Amino acid sequence: MKKANRPSPHLLALALVSLLTGACGSEEIFPSFDELALLQELHTLTKRPPVDSTNRFADDSRAAELGLALFNDKKLSGCGTVACASCHGGEGKTVDTAFAEGCDGHLTARNPPTTLNADYNRWFMWDGRADRLWNQAILPLTNPYEMNSNADIVRARLTEAYATSYQDIFGKTPEETVDGNEVLANVGKLMQAYERKINRTNAPFDEDVRRFIAAVDVSQAQVEADPAFLGLKTYFRKGQCIVCHKGATMSDNLFHNIGVKDTTPSAAGQYVAMQPMLDWPFNAAGRYSDNRTGLDATRLPAMQLDLQNKRTEMEGAYKTPTLRNIALTGPYMHTGELVTLGDVVDFYDKGGEPASAFTGVKTSTIVELKLTTEERQSLIHLLESMTGTQQ
């Protein structure tokens, strides 16, 4: 008979001390049993993003090769001067300015999110108005302030430069793809196949967390002597980062109003984005999805209920971005107004902006933190350690 794994004596002692300190009202030792469980989920992202059954070409190497060419092709745009790579070509796969420049000098309405590790997300765009990476690609492509394109322009460019490759993948030529929406969906699926390969995982942070967890099994003295101790403790407790930035993706994949300064017409965020997404023919349950009854599609009715019942929580709410590779992806927030990681920590330390500076109601976890100088620096160092290696 296989022997059951037994907790180490130190872990048993940890449980006892946690109970005693809790009963006495003094600060519980770090990590507690519950915090240790969260720590064990926090490291080591899978090598590849989750399978996306709504795109049958998501892991097709031919699609990825053509997707790369299209990603860099400026002639897909209406102005002929802007490609996806124009905004997503740097080391952090985004621009280093608050907004990006689109066709005819127009600026994007929000800070462009990174394409690094993009397909580990469950929702796309800051406000969630795309539910799959392939349909997200359609939005900047057809936005008049970004690439200002349409199905006719895209079909013509495919016919001119990529007809053979397109037919090899989809079984018909671009010209034979009469439905303009199908053309756009197919291009989005090619883009996704490429973007699924733009990943940076395996960060020093992962090694640090694994080492820290191993120390827990030895002694509390070794835990507190670990270089990551103060950063992780602040991340979990005083900083409350773990409330939203959890799991190996370091995001809860939800939307929150954290009090970022924004009084623009689009400041309502998720609340105004959800209904158009639910009505969109390109969503996971729509006619251009390759799996209209899978989990990605069946979660959408719950969002419809949220629109009816959770307006307060959704108004002014934006997606929790991953913290992985965050040192490469500034400036930060959907407005791009925070330039450095120090600015980000200071924003949370003061509890966000005053209520008059943004739309909606700030989530209850965003409060003044009163971090010490050492805690602030330890958090910044922790964030800097989350940069992964290129695959």
Binding residues: 84, 87-88, 241, 244-245
Which residues touch 55 (CB under 8 Å, ≥6 apart)? 132, 134, 189, 192, 193, 290
DSSP state of 101: B
Q: Which helix (H) or strand (E) holds 323?
A: none
Q: Which helix (H) or strand (E) holds 313?
A: helix 311-314
Alpha-carbon gap, residue 251 to 254, rounded angstroms: 8
Q: Report how far apart, in Å, the C-alpha atoms of 336 and of each of 97, 314, 358 are.
A: 7, 21, 15
Please enumerate, by residue number, every residue annotated as part of a binding site for heme c: 84, 87-88, 241, 244-245
- Reference 248, options 212, 211, 210; nearest CA is 210
HSE of 166, CA atoms in CB hemisphere, 13 A: 26
Alpha-carbon gap, residue 145 to 198, rounded angstroms: 25
Alpha-carbon gap, residue 341 to 231, rounded angstroms: 14
Determine contact, residues 358/261, Cβ cutoff 8 Å. Answer: yes
Q: Report how far apart, in Å, the C-alpha atoms of 138 and of each of 48, 148, 188, 250, 281 are.
A: 23, 11, 6, 26, 12
Q: Strands 389-390 and 200-201, how do they pair?
A: antiparallel
Which residues touch 365 (CB under 8 Å, ≥6 apart)? 240, 243, 244
Determine contact, residues 170/177, Cβ cutoff 8 Å. Answer: yes
Q: Strands 389-390 and 318-319, how do they pair?
A: unpaired
> In terms of C-beta density within 10 A (0-12 exposed, 13-18 middle, 19 or more buried), how is residue 213 classed?
middle
Residue with tokens 């002694």: 219
The two tokens of residue 163 are 């007809």
- The 10 Å Cβ neighbour count of residue 197 is 15
Determine contact, residues 40/54, Cβ cutoff 8 Å. Answer: no
